[in-house]
Structure 1
Amino acid sequence: MQKVVLITGANSGVGFSVADRLLEIEPSLTICLACRNLARAQVARSELIAKHGSKCTIDVQSVDTSDLKSVYKAAEEIKQRYKCLNYLYLNAGIMPVSTINWKGFLKGLFSVRRVIEMFSTGEGLLSVEDHSTDDGLKAIFTTNIFGHFVLVLALKDLLVNSKTHIIWTSSSNARRSHFNINDVQHEQGSEPYSSSKYAIDLLSLAINNEWNSHGVYSHITCPGLSITNITNSILPKWLWRAITPVMCSMRLFVPRITLSPYNSAEALVWLFQQDPAAVAQDRKYISHCNVLGKRYTHAEMIDFDVDEANELYEKLAGLEQVFRNRFKS
């Protein structure tokens, strides 16, 4: 049977490159580009067909993970469209109104360790503003994690029957110190992006605790530092191009500087080629590039507490039940 892969946020950046690289490996795949902007998704579909040929199967699905009604609607359409879903890449995400924290940046320049840390994780380098969605939830929390979790729960029967491999796009910016189990939306904090990415790490672990017995496995990845639509909101494209040679040389110390979305897809594609049951679940799989441009996947232990992971799962499941009942009524 033809394998089916669904990728959220697939019209550009890392999501698009995952689709591109998977078709290079296995042209017979059915790829579903699940995107907020259907026009851009159709453009991405045309580009993939132009490169890989008209015989490849590429579908387009409308879904906006910041809009829960959109997520529930998409789940129903996905269940009607596919009898099997082998891989689910939860990649869509936002980091809105990102700017350089110049004070933190200049202060960090006086420490080699801090320079490496800033360019490895972005910690202390960026200022991120959040806002609320029409559902009354924080946008970064909803887009990056909760909307995806709602999709997972809404597709549960399909995922269990398919023994789906779930692959999340997390970040090296995920920090346990920025997450509070009593403030999962990060309404009281100043690091909503980092909090949402750490929540992804926890949730993936909890999904494994709940679903491994059904043959469903979940893993997390980090694409490294790549120039995408998110980073272009931080610095202009011409400046990124200007500093690219310097950043390539920094790979000697910071190999997660991948720069291109194609390179950043490395860990996500590597997981596609593995037996999910044999891959450690308490690791984050990070896309790396050496100074010569060779791509490889590096695994790092996740900083976590099992009880906290399970508590997050229960809290999000309870919140999902509230919205499911609301939309039913």
Structure 2
Amino acid sequence: MINKVVLVTGANSGIGLALCERLLGSQDAEGLHLCLACRNMRRAHAARSALLGAHPAAQVTLLQMDTSSISSVLSAARELQLRFNRLDYVYLNAGIMPNPQFDLKAFFRGLFSSSVITMFATGEGILTQKDGVTPDGLQEVFATNLFGHFLLGLYSSVICPGFVMTNLTYGILPSFPAFLWTLLMPLLWLIRVFTNTFTLTPYNGAEALVWLFNQKPERLDPRAKYHSLTSVLGHSYTQPRQMDVDLDTSQALYDKLLRLEREAKRKPIAS
């Protein structure tokens, strides 16, 4: 019997996969149906096998969806309507950071500045990325991280996973020898003395997502960002922080997204 249907985009690795593992291991897992919406189906099948290996009785299905592609998102939305009569929870987790670059000079300058903690906690000033353009004519990061999810017609709470060590994080320094990452890990754990945003593990980074699973939507603050945080002793918790949001600017952005959505649906779909 299915009591709750949960859709997770970008569920084949990192925080998305950690979220699925935590949901299936929770006390509310009975009757839970997980739908993993992924771009890479080979990795999606591997993720599903791993989840079923740990939870043999779980209900886990796969959905092909590339949030950078308008046609893929619309096709996936139609398939969801055919498969399920409802979605109880939707986690808009898919995202990319294409060609991340690490500015070594900015890093060393930041080490001896008053913003060193902010630099470590957020990567501000030391990380850049080279964006591309999708076949639909949209900026790749915008399409994948935002507009593809917007096309699903959903509203969501905003979460921040903190600084998490995933394949995306390791990819920032692709030529960095593996043993140096091992040597750096104690330093990263030590930084927790100064900032609680170093969640480090995907399990900890998914804390706010799991917390939201247990909340009533009407009690959530639409102007709050829900942060996954970890204490010095490794205790994970969730804390809401008000976003610095200008309502007029937000409304203008929303109106532009609606216009773009209407235009996208009128245009011939790129193959």
Question: Could you say which TM-score interval applies, normalised by the shorter chain?
Answer: over 0.9
Work out whether 1:72 is the aligned partner of 2:74: yes
- CA contact 2:71–2:269 (8 Å) conserved in 1: no
Q: In structure 2, how many angstroms separate the alpha carbons of the residues matched to 1:4 and 1:252?
A: 39
The aligned counterpart of 2:128 is 127
Residue 50 of structure 1: which of 53, 71, 91 is its match?
53
- CA contact 2:34–2:61 (8 Å) conserved in 1: yes
Aligned residue pair count: 264
RMSD (Å), alpha carbons: 1.5
Work out the percentage of aligned pairs sharing the same amino acid: 46
Q: Kindly tell me: are residues 238 and 81 of structure 1, through their superposed partners in 2, closer, same or farther at Cα, counting changes over 3 Å? A: farther
- CA contact 1:99–1:233 (8 Å) conserved in 2: no
One-letter amino acid matched to 1:106? F
The aligned counterpart of 2:196 is 255
Which consecutive aligned stretches of 4+ in structure 1 deviate over 6 angstroms post-superposition? none
Work out whether 1:232 is the aligned partner of 2:187: no
Q: In structure 2, how many angstroms separate the alpha carbons of the residues matched to 1:110 and 1:14?
A: 32
One-letter amino acid matched to 2:17? F
Give 1:92-107 correspondences, 5 Å limit.
92-107=94-109
1:158-182 per-residue CA deviation (whole Å, 9 max, x = no partner) reads xxxxxxxxxxxxxxxxxxxxxxxxx
Q: In structure 1, how many angstroms separate the alpha carbons of the residues matched to 2:253 and 2:91?
A: 21
Which is helix-richer, 1 or 2? Answer: 1
Q: In structure 2, how many angstroms separate the alpha carbons of the residues matched to 1:50 and 1:94?
A: 28
In the alignment, structure 1 segments of 5+ residues that lack a partner are 154-206, 208-217
Q: In structure 2, how many angstroms separate the alpha carbons of the residues matched to 1:223 and 1:245?
A: 20
The aligned counterpart of 1:143 is 144
The aligned counterpart of 2:4 is 3
Q: Secondary structure at the match of 1:152?
A: coil
One-letter amino acid matched to 1:281? P
- CA contact 2:70–2:269 (8 Å) conserved in 1: no
1:18-58 per-residue CA deviation (whole Å, 9 max, x = no partner) reads 111111112221011000001100110010011112x2100
Q: In structure 2, how many angstroms separate the alpha carbons of the residues matched to 1:147 and 1:244?
A: 34
Q: Which structure has the higher relative contact order (CA within 8 Å, separation 6+)?
A: 2
1:254 Cα offset (Å): 1.2
Residue 43 of structure 2: which of 40, 44, 56 is its match?
40
TM, length-normalised to structure 1: 0.78
1:104-155 per-residue CA deviation (whole Å, 9 max, x = no partner) reads 11111112x31111111111011211111111111011100011101226xx
Q: In structure 2, how many angstroms separate the alpha carbons of the residues matched to 1:327 and 1:86?
A: 32
In the alignment, structure 2 segments of 5+ residues that lack a partner are none
The aligned counterpart of 2:267 is 326
The aligned counterpart of 2:153 is 152
1:241 Cα offset (Å): 2.4
TM, length-normalised to structure 2: 0.94
